[in-house]
Structure 1
Amino acid sequence: MDQPGERRSHAVSTPRGGGIAIVVALLVACAALAIRLPDQAWMLVAFAVGLVLVAGAGWLDDHRPTSPWVRLGVHALAAAVFAAAVQYAYADPWLAGAAFVLAIGLVNVWNFMDGINGLAATQAALVSLALAAVMSGTWAGVALALAAACLGFLPFNFPKAVIFLGDVGSGSLGFALAAITIMATATQSIAWPLLLLPLSAFLIDAGLTLLMRMHRGERWWTAHVQHSYQVWVRGGATHTRVTFAYMAWTLLSVALMLGLRAASPLFMLCGVMAWYTSGAFIWWLLRRAAAQRGLRGN
């Protein structure tokens, strides 16, 4: 059970760990795709092994809190398994390195950002649908399976939560999105800078909040309620309003991604940088408004 507290954004004891259903759905999809498309079996097996490692660490933490460094070690192992498969398949150390970094990064970003009803699952669904729209073949199928699993989970988590994703779900969502993003890059489905756009809502909030806490000298690896979505809720906004606001931002980012597909590399890069700059400015405005209301994060 996830109990309410000063480092939580809910007021009622709620069971957690419901994200294991998403993990099971993805594993079933991977098995079906591997049987149908055996040429992609090794990549799918590596993805499934990494997913099970991340989910297993999260499942254990949901039931008996473990050291964040132990969890990070498991995340690194899962990322290494998938990165090794990428290196074997494409013989590209830069792509393999990106797979390792992105997998660890998104596992923890989705874990950080899973704090209010529907937020993590809706963002994962939108990002995976955006990736499926620009891909084809096996990994488009994985992306669609992820979106379907998230949409199947949402009625139990939004607008009112009767169960939470838990670490087993949030970390697995991040790992799956990292893998699909890397495969979109590997297959050259779309220029890689554009793939950063659908992820921007979470990357901006999680990244800037982390930098802020590090600058303050805080124990940045511990639980907190300083992300902008949490500050917004503590200021009186409902979970539904905040989740829809993040959805709107991501839908706009997907539209921008699709609109920039035919642009020149320079214009494309400028567009991505301008989008992230705008997001950082909105993040700052939200925190400034909270400070003026005396709602500085603890």
Structure 2
Amino acid sequence: MFMTIGWLLASLLITLLLVRAAINYAHRRGMLDQPGQRRSHRLPTPRGGGIGIVVATLICAPGALWSLPMAWPASVITGLFIALFLVALVGWWDDHRSLPVLPRLGVQLLAAGIFSLTLLATGLSWWWLPLLLAGGVWSINLHNFMDGIDGLLAQQAIFVGGGLALLAYAAAQPALAVATAALAMAALGFWWFNRPPARIFMGDVGSGSVGLLIFMFSAMLWRQDHRMLWPALILSSAFVVDATLTLLTRMGRGRRWYTAHREHLYQWLVRRGGTHARAGAAYLGWNLLVAAPLAWLAWSHLRMALPITIVVYLGAAAAWLALKRRCLRRRLPKAFHVTT
């Protein structure tokens, strides 16, 4: 118990200290996100605060996985550490000086591949490798896409990290439970500075790393019991649906899907006049009122977990479409007036 509390407090305190230092560092280096047509903030804001989450989890998650009961193999812990370090490194570089898409994608594939290979080496079929690679790279990028307004990704990391910790504890995996809880505590420390109005943004160093961590912890939970994947996916339903449907919509319309834009649902909620806090509250409401209880239902009825997950994702897609249409209708009179 004392070791568990120690890892969690260490994760929180390391993040608080490093994010505070990152604010000063970003100002000195000129790492400021300027307001613009494709951005949702109005004042120049430092970026790169996600370095606090990265350092905290690089220390505390491997420590918990190695030192607590039901410890994981050293190979898997090493793979997790290397993968997180690589994604954080390329994100930190991109925060300082913008990188092209292909080098970033290459590092993401390498990181997801290293972790996946160490996980498969524990006795899983190698046929899972393509799915793990796709899942890892998509999780990195979808969380990067969803990091666009104050506090949103931080609160999602708190929710999903905490939910995965409970699932791991229920699966009799205390080491994994504390490691995922350490992510939630680190995200909480960052949220303190990122809550509206944000004093610092997460940056690519943080958003990509959070996405990778959620993928790796979910995959480790799936490694223990394949059916546990479904409640884990339910926890992430809000972000997965918004990012996926937005991407498919842009691709279907022939747009450059990989460029910056403001077409995610959370961005439309802000564009129609809502605040960052209200948009974040909408996602939090889904998480607490729908995702959390149905993830519990899927866990408590594992034989029905897949159908429950399908229902959740269909419901999330329907909610996404309804809210998106509502946002567009509210903009129609103004657009019509400009046209005429």
Same fold (TM over 0.5): yes
Cα distance in 2 for partners of 1:104, 1:92 equals 20
For 1:222-261, what aligned pairs fall within 5 Å after superposition? 222-251=259-288, 252-261=290-299
2:98 corresponds in structure 1 to: 65
Residue 86 of structure 1 pairs with residue 124 of structure 2: no
Return the offset for 1:99: 2.6
Whose radius of gyration is greater, 1 or 2? 2
For 1:192-207, what aligned pairs fall within 5 Å after superposition? 192-207=229-244
TM-score w.r.t. the length of structure 1 is 0.94
Deviations 1:221-241 (CA, angstroms, capped at 9, x unpaired)? 111100000011000111001
- Aligned residues between the structures: 295
Deviations 1:219-278 (CA, angstroms, capped at 9, x unpaired)? 00111100000011000111001111101211221211112223263x432222121111
1:99 corresponds in structure 2 to: 132
Cα distance in 2 for partners of 1:39, 1:141 equals 12
Secondary structure at 1:270 match in 2 = helix
Cα distance in 2 for partners of 1:261, 1:79 equals 26
Secondary structure at 1:21 match in 2 = helix
Return the offset for 1:87: 1.3
Cα distance in 1 for partners of 2:268, 2:72 equals 47
Residue 146 of structure 1 pairs with residue 183 of structure 2: yes
Residue 272 of structure 1 pairs with residue 324 of structure 2: no
1:52 corresponds in structure 2 to: 85
TM-score w.r.t. the length of structure 2 is 0.83
Return the offset for 1:90: 2.4
Deviations 1:113-147 (CA, angstroms, capped at 9, x unpaired)? 00000100110110011110011232212101100
Range 9-18 or range 132-141, more displaced = 132-141
**Runs of 4+ with >6 A deviation:** none
Residue 30 of structure 1 pairs with residue 57 of structure 2: no
The amino acid across from 1:262 in the alignment is S
Q: Is the 8 A contact 2:49 2:201 kept in 1?
A: yes
Q: Is the 8 A contact 1:134 1:189 kept in 2?
A: no
Deviations 1:129-184 (CA, angstroms, capped at 9, x unpaired)? 11100112322121011001000111100022000000000000000000000001
Deviations 1:17-58 (CA, angstroms, capped at 9, x unpaired)? 000000000011134236526753221111010001111111
Compute the RMSD of aligned alpha carbons: 1.7
1:188 corresponds in structure 2 to: 225
Are residues 155 and 221 of structure 1, via their aligned partners in 2, closer, same or farther at CA, if it must alter by over 3 Å?
same
Q: Is the 8 A contact 1:82 1:100 kept in 2?
A: no
Structure 2 unmatched runs, 5+: 1-31, 336-340
